[in-house]
Structure 1
Amino acid sequence: MTDPASPPSTPGTPPGAPPGAVVRGLLRAADRATLATTLVAGAGGDAPPAGGWPYASLVLMAVDHDAAPLLLVSTLAEHTRNLQADPRAAILVDGTAGLDEPLTGARATLLGRFARDDDPERRARYLRRHPSAAGYAGFGDFAIWRMTVERAHLVAGFGRIHWMAADAVLGEPGLPLAAREADVVAHMNEDHADAIQLYARVLLGLDGEGWRMTGCDAEGADLRLGGRVARLPFDQPVRDAEAARIQLVKLVKRARERAGG
């Protein structure tokens, strides 16, 4: 039997990574999640008259630089009204897509509390991840909500099950790169679109033309083409924009060597 302490890799996570890194890799790679909240009493319509029922909904998700979940939600939505009454929630991220045996893949549930967050950089990060959301993000009923993660539960195949505290999952907050991320992403998209295409085609094995970078954090970069997203991992973590530039240059050189070979 495979060692349960060595979960399988996920996008952007090396084989044999510790469970917390696997969860963080799932979070960084995901663009959607299942949100579970507690239904409030008197929700209206045909909802149960008494509160307390679990309520699950599909949400588009981005993550903060430390991988804490970010949602853009409307006060008109059931899940937002639920969070206003009880901020406790669970987020399920699923890394099993495309597997012949989904139950052998990694998925993680995070427990924590959501609160509205009006930080403009987090809002911008979410909208880069989900550019179509710009069409409604300005409506008065929409706002970014951020999860303060308390615990996580990873299931990464049969016998690979781990509970862990938030500090085992989340990355280091407040890195200098966060303040320069928008500049890095804009520079890559405007001046190095060919490099992004090489990352996607050669290093990640993805087809299609027009891939764009939507984010850059300590552990890698996020790419998007239409409704498809991809994760480009760095060889080693970075702390600032210059270190990220070095990693991006290194990766494009690797892609060119492989393409030429």
Structure 2
Amino acid sequence: MPRTVRTLLRALDRASLATNLPGEPAGWPYASLVLVAVDHDLSPILLLSDMAEHTRAIKADGRVSLLFDGTVGLDQPLTGPRATVLGRAVRTADQRLKTRFLTRHPDAALYSGFKDFAFYRVAVERAHLVGGFGKIRWIDAAELAPPSAPGLAEAEASIVDHMNADHADALQLYAAKLIGRAGEGWKMTGIDPEGLDLRRGGEVARLAFDVPLQAVGEARKVLVDLVGKARARP
């Protein structure tokens, strides 16, 4: 179940954010749609405007919840997975987090530098997974913790740039043969120990690794092996 939550969070590029309004109407929960990227440690990263109601709420009370809905397209949505993540949102100036978010959401670069926009990191404390009827469980942060690959987070930007610049054909193979997504122009937006993320316009896709990476040095071999696996597919 923890991996189900991690996969769900990483596969989606948006979530419903719930905050506690400090002003009128005070004390009411407030839900809004936000774009999201997820860091290597599973912390959601948000880019928020100071003028938004949810940002004013976070400045007064950093406790938030984020609903990641994996039921889109299902004939019976209540049979599909969704996870609500509870955590505390804190403003961040970490350049690596900014890069990860903007690579995931390239259009956000148009306004990310405005003075009234800022990045926030949500430190996850718990998650509530509903995997379908009868598949319900609270999961603590320690159990949600993803595997670690030392050096990968720091090398991620260069790996992504290299794949997009020099191996666009490999990314198309990943999308078409391993994930079953049509169309040209897929770009890599991230890589973490458990998989890699792709984007094509408004569409995102997640390719999970068979075995999690344990070190940054393993990334190249896995990416090459995936090309061979894709070419072997009919």
**What TM bracket, shorter-length normalisation?**
over 0.9
Between the aligned residues of both structures, percent identity stands at 58
Aligned pairs for 1:62-211 within 5 A? 62-172=37-147, 175-211=150-186
TM-score, normalization by structure 2: 0.97
Q: Deviations over 1:137-187 (max 9, x none)?
A: 000111110111111100001100001101111324683100000111011
**Structure 1 counterpart SS, 2:36:** strand
- Residues 1:226 and 2:201 aligned together: yes
Partner of residue 34 from structure 2, selected from 55, 59, 62: 59
Question: Is 1:65–1:217's contact at 8 Å kept on the other side of the alignment?
Answer: yes
What letter corresponds to residue 17 of structure 2 in structure 1? L
For structure 2, list consecutive stretches of 5 or more residues without a partner in the other structure: none
| Whole-angstrom distance in 2 between the partners of 1:173 and 1:145 | 22
Q: Match for residue 28 of structure 1?
A: 10
What amino acid does structure 2 have at the position aligned with 1:120? Q
1:40 aligns to what SS in structure 2? coil
Q: Which amino acid aligns with 1:204?
A: I
TM-score (norm 1): 0.87
**Which amino acid counterpart does residue 231 of structure 1 have in structure 2?**
R
1:24 aligned partner, one-letter code: R
- CA-based RMSD of the aligned residues comes to 1.1
* Aligned twin of 1:212: 187
Between structure 1 and structure 2, the one with the greater Rg is 1
Aligned counterpart, 1:11:
none
Distance 2:121 2:145 in 1: 13
Asked if the contact 1:184/1:241 (under 8 Å) is kept, the reply is no
Residues 202-260 of structure 1: CA deviation (Å, up to 9, x unaligned): 111111111010101111110000000000111111133321111111111000111xx
Letter in 2 for 1:216: I
- Of the candidates 198, 208, 211, which is equivalent to residue 236 of structure 1? 211
Secondary structure of the residue aligned to 2:122 is strand
In the alignment of these two chains, the number of paired residues is 234
**What does residue 4 of structure 1 align with?**
none
Superposed displacement of residue 130, structure 1: 0.1
CA-CA distance at 1:41 after TM superposition: 1.7
Q: Is 2:224 the counterpart of 1:249?
A: yes
| Counterpart code for 1:52 | G
In the TM superposition, what whole-angstrom CA distance separates every residue of 1:101-140 from its partner, at most 9, and x where no partner exists?
Answer: 1101000001111000111000000000000000000001
SS in 1 for 2:169: helix
- Stretches of structure 1 lacking an aligned partner (at least 5 in a row): 1-18, 43-47
Q: How far off is 1:74 after superposition?
A: 1.0
- Residue type of the partner of 1:32? R
